Structure 1
């Protein structure tokens, strides 16, 4: 079983919070802990600071901003309701690099990332954080795909 799980999240994970929490809880050992990481690019980080009315010169850190993030806070609550130890951390910069650094920083045994279905061309043109983590992580990575509730079966 997994002792320390790194759960990487972003704003795009709003619709898959339940699946991410369920996946994390399902792989943890009895005394396991979850480190939730929200990585912001520089622009999004500054936007979030402005939205939260954080003064440019304050000592507020990326960890503080991440703790005030709805997705991260909700996931922490869902996991804590299951008596799972949780910490929220933040990082500024390239998401894949931040996730891979955090694997070492928290001594993670496994990473869980969310993502959406994209074509190979789309991944090539726009990059894929999940793909970079899958290929670069020194530990197992679980990919939690977004549910597409808009898809409905076509009747014959």
Structure 2
């Protein structure tokens, strides 16, 4: 099985694990000469909030979720690391439920691997609050690498 495309999905809580996510992707993408798809998935409320912070007028300006993701600090930090290691990448943004949308992006980008971050949660915490990473692990069309923040 060749490794051509790696989907690195980040969200609003991943800013504290950028180094770990970047290292996990570079370790695999660089030797395989794979392209990394940097994806930021927003819920509708998160998307609206980021657009407001960026002074994007959704009724007037011509932009989409890819443009919003491209302006996000987390994506820019990851871009810097990938550029340092000469790893090619694309940027994708999407609006929707985090888990379902990431799985959809894995399908549409034909990802050979999906990389997601998360934090340790108790089984009761997962049952009560759900787990985006768990949803992705169970539904992804490609193998998933989970990067935990201690």
- For the superposition of Structure 1 and Structure 2, which TM-score range results when normalised by the shorter chain? over 0.9
Q: Which runs of 4+ in 1 moved over 3 A?
A: none
Matches within 5 A, 1:26-105: 26-28=27-29, 29-57=31-59, 58-105=61-108
Distance in 1 between the 2:58 and 2:107 partners? 30
Instruction: Give the deviation of 1:3 after TM superposition.
Output: 1.5
Gaps of 5+ in 2: none
Which stretch shows the higher mean deviation, 10-19 or 61-70?
A: 10-19
Provide structure 1 residue ranges, at least 5 long, that are not aligned to the other structure: 148-156
1:55 and 1:18 map into 2 onto residues whose CA distance is 32
- Root-mean-square deviation (Å): 1.1
- Aligned length in residues: 147
Name the larger-Rg structure.
Answer: 1
2:15: which partner in 1? 14
TM-score (norm 1): 0.90
For 1:152, the equivalent position in structure 2 comes to none
How far has the Cα of 1:88 moved from its partner? 1.2
Corresponding residue SS for 1:60 = coil
Q: Is the 8 A contact 1:19 1:144 kept in 2?
A: yes
1:21-47 superposed Cα distances (whole Å, 9 cap, x missing partner): 110011124321100110000001000
